[in-house]
Structure 1
Amino acid sequence: MHSLAIAVGSLYVRKHFKQNSKTIALDMVEQIRGVFDNILSEVDWMDEATKLEAKKKLHSMTTHIGYPDEMLDNSKLEEYYRNLEIDPSKYFESFLKLNVFGTDYSFNKLRLPVNKTDWVRHARPAVVNAYYSSIENSIQFPAGILQGHFFNAARPKYMNYGAIGFVIGHEITHGFDDQGRRFDLQGNLLDWWAENTQKSYLDKAKCIIEQYGNYTDLQTGMHLNGINTQGENIADNGGVKESYKAYRQWVAKNGPEPKLPGLDYTPEQMFWISAGQTWCSKYRTETLKMRITTGVHSPSQYRVMGTFSNMRDFARDFNCPEGSRMNPVQKCVVW
């Protein structure tokens, strides 16, 4: 699949991806983008000039959902692969030719202007992942993630907002985390923050760093690395908050949804449950040690517990007593 990702991806979306999924996901992106715009308007620690630049960057953020339309155009695929020859009877030789083909394709672009909208850059749809690109100022949600427990067009909205909505908000917020904020709306490495606003941001980020850095993982006995993981933690906290607000907006406009049959959880509680189960995972101890030492993501358990404990909406929806583990008196908020 990795060797012929574009060809395999084309087959995948033709057979398995539903067009209405793309439409619904795009609507969710625009709604969650609007929530982040409101958050920017409301924060009291940003000066007006920096707010304006942040909003420009937010609304310049390009969205790639599902797959580029060129992937359904056979002539585009034939043009892309025209210099590749594969012999079904010669596996090793064909593999070498694939390597040469990929290297030649990259080197032929060496002296050309960068085309940030090139469809080939976004033509890997058969993966379960999502991305923010700081140099493109773009967010990407391949077709592979718009399925399973992340997304289903036929299920209640609270399930989708809790899962894929959380991911959408996460990727949008990456444009304003410790790394993404250093790039402007065109993807250039440029400092566009006023000095006092930047200082306020760093103070808020320090709270996140210390919160996660004070967690001790029970499986390994190790402290989490709050510095390495601050960007992902900031994106998690902003993302789930934005998606929750977006869902509440949807309910205000369309009316409340019914509970799931056989379960006594409210729609709001199901939002959080859907968001939490997105990160269900199990690690070998050796893998977890490596992840804590070198990874930019907190272990999944702390992506949920650390993030949700900062959310007043979570504490209200589950009636968590103030001062309890999931409703601490001091909460960290960046966005």
Structure 2
Amino acid sequence: MRAMVLRAPGGPLRPEELPVPEPGSGEVLVRVRACGVCRTDLHVVDGELREPKLPLVVGHQIVGVVERVGEGVERFSPGDRVGVPWLGRTCGRCRYCRTGRENLCGEARFTGYQLDGGFAEYARADARFCLPVPEGYPDLQAAPLLCAGLIGYRALRMAGDAERLGLYGFGASAHIILQVARHQGRRVFAFTRDGDEEAQRFARRLGAEWAGGSGQRPPEELDAAIIFAPVGALVPLALRAVARGGTVVCAGIHMSDIPSFPYELLWGERQLRSVANLTRRDGEEFLALAPEVPVRTEVRPYPLEGANQALDDLRSGRLTGAAVLVVGR
């Protein structure tokens, strides 16, 4: 099979021919049709997440068709369309797994990081952690739902019932969650890179009440803010923008160092919290909600061999919406 392979962090992905994997007990072999390109992929490739399996096939927003099933798999059959998300496996035994917090499992393994992912024509996955893809979403439009959507949805839940919601970093996740937030009756304020007027117009077109640079103050106080950009310097800015009792949610798996800030920014019962990974329940809930909104993902397609270009476009901020690799049909 064709695959784009990471041999060493900091280097480019290399096109290679690899054997098609065999599904083991409890696993499915998925023929990949599309795979979203996520900022977490960028953190893996650039060496900011430091525990990858090497060599590695990156990619964790996989949409494809079950080709074969391993022993004991009853949930899916050949021909079923499935999604494979970031959370690829957990122990199922620890206190986190037993209390509905499997996203915090110390033995969790992640697709495209410790398990080979979807920048290839085939991927092997634990059937228990695959998700049925909602009908009505073409493969390319469904792919961003599997991480940008799922992580954004978990972050939105952590923001509570905030009416005035700020989104810092207007990329793949924010453009999805803005639609969900508007569906829920919230008022959304979008923060982009300073001077990125294209992204600001995009946010307003999707329903943002206000859009400006991340260094600007919104026209009124926020009840909560979600930071999608991996920039620690945004934390004090977001705390300054939220009202007393407000919440700032850091949604990324990696962020640059947070600078020191005066206690007065946190005082007033403001909360600062992170979101770690996702649970299967998050996936089931969000993929049921997305067609109701309905969420419409805006994507830029790339061929499989264009993965390095997609990552570079994401790294440089040249993307509007989400990048998706077109792998097969």
Is the TM-score greater than 0.5? no
**Between Structure 1 and Structure 2, which shows a larger proportion of helix residues?**
1
Shorter-chain TM range is under 0.3
**Between Structure 1 and Structure 2, which shows a larger proportion of strand residues?**
2
Task: State the TM-score, normalizing by the size of structure 1.
Answer: 0.26
Task: State the TM-score, normalizing by the size of structure 2.
Answer: 0.26
Structure index of larger Rg? 1
